[in-house]
Every structure is written in C-alpha cells, then in structure tokens.
Amino acid sequence: MLTNNDNTQSMQSSNNKQRFTGSCHCGSVQFQIDSDLSEVTTCNCSMCRRRNAVMLKVHENDFVLLDGAEVLSKYQFHTHTAQHFFCSQCGIYPFHRKRMAPDSYGINTQCLEGFDAEGIPVRETNGIELP
C-alpha cells in the first residue's frame, strides 16, 4: 500500500488546477486527481440516489490510480457504458467512469483528502430521465 504523500495533497498543479489524493476507507485503493473545481454534481439516477454521493468530474488525463487496481470491483447496469468501481475490501465507491462522458471519471468527493466543497457550484443531474 502506498503511503500518503503530503507534498501532492491539495497543491497547485498545472493550468490552475488543484491536486488531491483520495482513497477508499481501508486505504487499499488510492488515487490522485487534478481539478479546476468548476462544479460538483449530484444525480438522481437509481445508482447515485442510493449512494448519495457528491461527485467531481475529471478527465481521464487528470486521474491517476496509484494503488489498488487488484481490489477494485466493477459494477455496470442499464447501457453498460458507465463503470462503477468499489473497493472489494471495504465496499466504498471512490469513482466511476461516466456514461455521458466516458473519457472522464466521476470522483466521490468524500474520498478526497482535504477537499472542501464550500463555495463550489452544485449541478444537479437528472439521470433518472436518461434513456
């Protein structure tokens, strides 16, 4: 398991983006993202409604899985486009590949170290209406 590197946590990266590290509850899955923090999203689809996550969209180029690929479980439903990932050890949902933007990840903001959503606009996605 990787140790948390405080030098990468919540520091500026290129293009006015902030860098955050994140993990599942047990720490088996660890990742790093860069984001401009333009908005966070909620969704009312059957999956998101049940997990009640506030998500941050990041392009795949701004996401790095640092550790835990071997313990990630994937769940897909409906169109099987989105890929929802969970830690097989602790059950936490840290991120998913998005259905409407498959080149991006939806990051569970509660899994990010030092993240504060205060002041960031919240966009409500009407996922239940997607075909």
Residue 58, C-beta contacts closer than 8 angstroms, at least 6 positions apart: 33, 34, 35, 104, 105, 107
103-113 tens-digit pLDDT:
899 999 999 99
For the chain, list the domains and their CATH numbers.
11-125 (2.170.150.70)
d(C-alpha 31, C-alpha 91), whole Å: 16
How many whole angstroms separate alpha carbon 22 and alpha carbon 128? 28
Count of beta carbons in the 10 Å neighbourhood of residue 84: 18
| Confidence (pLDDT) at 10 | 43
pLDDT band (50, 70, 90) for residue 123 = very high
Dist. CA 50–CA 9, nearest whole Å: 29
Q: How many angstroms separate the CA atoms of 107 and 78, rounded?
A: 20
- Per-residue pLDDT, 3: 30
The whole-model pTM stands at 0.82
What pLDDT is recorded for position 5?
38
